Structures are given as structure tokens and as C-alpha cells.
Amino acid sequence: MSASGFQMPKPVLAVEGLSVSFDGFKAVDDLNLYIDRNEVRVVIGPNGAGKTTLLDLICGKTRATSGSIQFENRELTKMREYDIVRAGVGRKFQNPSIYENLTVFENLEMSYPAGRTVFGALFFKRSAEVLERVEQVAREIMLHEHLHQQADLLSHGQKQWLEIGMLLMQDPQLLMLDEPVAGMSVSERMATAELLGRISQGRSVLVIEHDMEFVKRIAHKVTVLHQGRVLAEGSMEAVQNNPKVIEVYLGH
């Protein structure tokens, strides 16, 4: 606490001294990263910098060799993948994993957390609460007019939004997205930038992205990874003008 008694809000995610080695090769090397609520953080860096591995570590897919990942006062490095999801961490991979033969509505509905008991999961009903949540999320992801459309008929961008919607059904406090606009049209990119701005309200969003125009549009702060370490961090402008970043990444 400072002399004035003002206390900085604690970051939602605090990654400290995080390392992972694969056969002696350090893919992530003594990494520190802090993300606040309402923040959209973008991680950039050359191929092999450790970006995907960082997300794998946070969601429990890969186990850290050392270091800690504190998420809302819970230590994620000791938790199973499933429990990390339940703790409020959602992750979208590059390829959408929606059910193509189901409607938008059904895809969203089945992503609603089905209650805490086995009984709740088995006798899950279309309660008013679920309906309301589906409609709310569908509006958020711009698919409310497509609720009863089969998912395979959606555009590539709409499929990506649907998957984001499926994650939002669980109301994660941290949402991680790996190259969310890959393959999208210009107008879909613009709409996705606005979508990310909306969904960061009240939560934290961590994005891996190579498209610098898109990064500029969405990032509150940018972290540049290089060889598993943080090379630079700050505003897009500061990072873009950083000679070390230009040398290893942006100058190519």
C-alpha cells in the first residue's frame, strides 16, 4: 500500500518466473506477465518465441518446469485442465471446435455449465436462465439473427464468433484467443475487434496475434516474446518503435 493508502488493484493473472523445458530446450524461460481486469493484452513475437506454449501452460495443457501462475489467488500450475476451466479460464484454439451439424442455439446451449451435480448434468433442462443467457451471448457475438441456423452454414468468421460465444456461456474471467482473425474478411476483422473490446469489460483477454493492424486496433498493451522471454512490453506505439523489437520481429 502506498503512503496515501491507495492500493493498486491486484492483477487477475500473475505469471512469475515461469519456465518450461522440452528435452533441455527452454521454450518459456523465467517469464513474468501481469494482466488486469478489463484489459486486452496481445502477445506477439517471431515463430517459436513461446506464445502458444505460454497459453498451454496457463490452461494446464502443458506443465511448468518451474514458476507460478496465479489466477484470482489460485495457483494454476498445480491444477488439472478441467479445474482450470471451472476456475474461469477459457481458451479458444485456432481451429473452431463447434458442432457443425447443430444450430447456433444448440451449440451455445450445450456450452452452458450444466450444474454442479451429476444429477444436474443428466437432467439438464432448457430453463429460462439458459435461454436468457443464450440470447444474451448470441447478441454479443452478432449471431442473434442466426440462432436457428445450422453452424456449418455460417461464414468462417461467424464460426469463430460462435466458438467465442461457447466460451462466453461459461462466463470466464480470463479468455485466451490464438490468432482469432486468421482467415477473416476485413469487415469480420473490424467486427471482431469491437467484439473483443466488449467482452473485455469485466474480464481479461489474452490474444496471440501476428496481424499488426489488428493488434493496433485491439491491444491495450502488447507483450513481445522472444526465445521464451519478454523482450519488450508497453503500448503498441512504444513496442513498434523499440529497436530490439524491430530487429527480431517487426523489421522482417
Ligand X SMILES: Nc1ncnc2c1ncn2[C@@H]1O[C@H](COP(=O)(O)OP(=O)(O)OP(=O)(O)O)[C@@H](O)[C@H]1O
The site for ligand X (CB under 6 A) is made up of: 22, 27, 45, 47-53
Compute the least distance from the CB of residue 180 to ligand X, in Å: 14
Compute the least distance from the CB of residue 81 to ligand X, in Å: 15
CA 74 to chain centre: 18
> Which residue, 92 or 146, has its beta carbon nearer to ligand X?
92
DSSP state of 45: -
Compute the least distance from the CB of residue 241 to ligand X, in Å: 22
Q: Specify the residue for cell string 513496442.
A: 239
**Position 56, amino acid:** D
> Which residue, 49 or 193, has its beta carbon nearer to ligand X?
49
Give the SS3 label for residue 158. helix
59 vs 153: CA distance, rounded Å: 30
Compute the least distance from the CB of residue 51 to ligand X, in Å: 3
Compute the least distance from the CB of residue 165 to ligand X, in Å: 25
Q: What is the dihedral of CA 174, 180, 185, 186, to 10 degrees?
A: 60
Q: Specify the residue for cell string 471451472.
A: 86
> Which residue, 31 or 108, has its beta carbon nearer to ligand X?
31
DSSP 108-157: HHTTS---SSHHHHHT----HHHHHHHHHHHHHTT-GGGTTSBGGGS-HH
> Which residue, 109 or 209, has its beta carbon nearer to ligand X?
209
> Which residue, 62 or 111, has its beta carbon nearer to ligand X?
62
